[in-house]
Amino acid sequence: MSMEWQVAGVVVLAFGTVSALVAITTGRVAQFSAPRRGTVFRPRLWGYGTLIALAGMGTFLFLGPYQGPAARHFGLAMAGMAVFFAGLIVQYLSRRPRRTSPTPTKSAS
């Protein structure tokens, strides 16, 4: 794989890491999508999900396609993709509102 693709991969991973750390530390997420796509109710959880997904994607990229056609690290690259999808699941959960505890009811006695 050419050096340009590797640099592009590192830039994307670095930008994602910075945005995840901003979400974790400040609790804010940049909304680049249309308003109808939904909002992130739990930005810190979104940040952790992003870090997990980026770790998986980086593992996949640098042990898979960037190594060429050799299949020496195929299992590790696929494990990286599994970690990536686990991070996406965590990001999905961050878009759901928190559970609220049931309000105690007064019994008529």
Please tell me the predicted confidence (pLDDT) of residue 91. Answer: 92
Is 88 inside a domain boundary? yes
How many other CB atoms sit within 10 Å of the CB of residue 58? Answer: 19
* CB 38 within 8 Å of CB 92: no
Is residue 98 over pLDDT 90?
Answer: no
- Is pLDDT above 60 for 81? yes
Range of the domain at 75: 3-94
What is the pLDDT at residue 56? 95
In a domain, 29, yes or no: yes
Mean pLDDT score, 40-55: 92
pTM for this predicted structure: 0.79
How far is Cα 2 from Cα 25, in angstroms, rounded to an integer? Answer: 35
88 pLDDT above the threshold of 60 = yes
Which residue has better confidence, 99 or 22?
22
Tally of domains within the chain: 1
Please check whether residue 85 lies inside any domain of the structure. yes
Looking at the domain assignment, is residue 104 inside a domain? no
* 18 token code pair: 């910075």
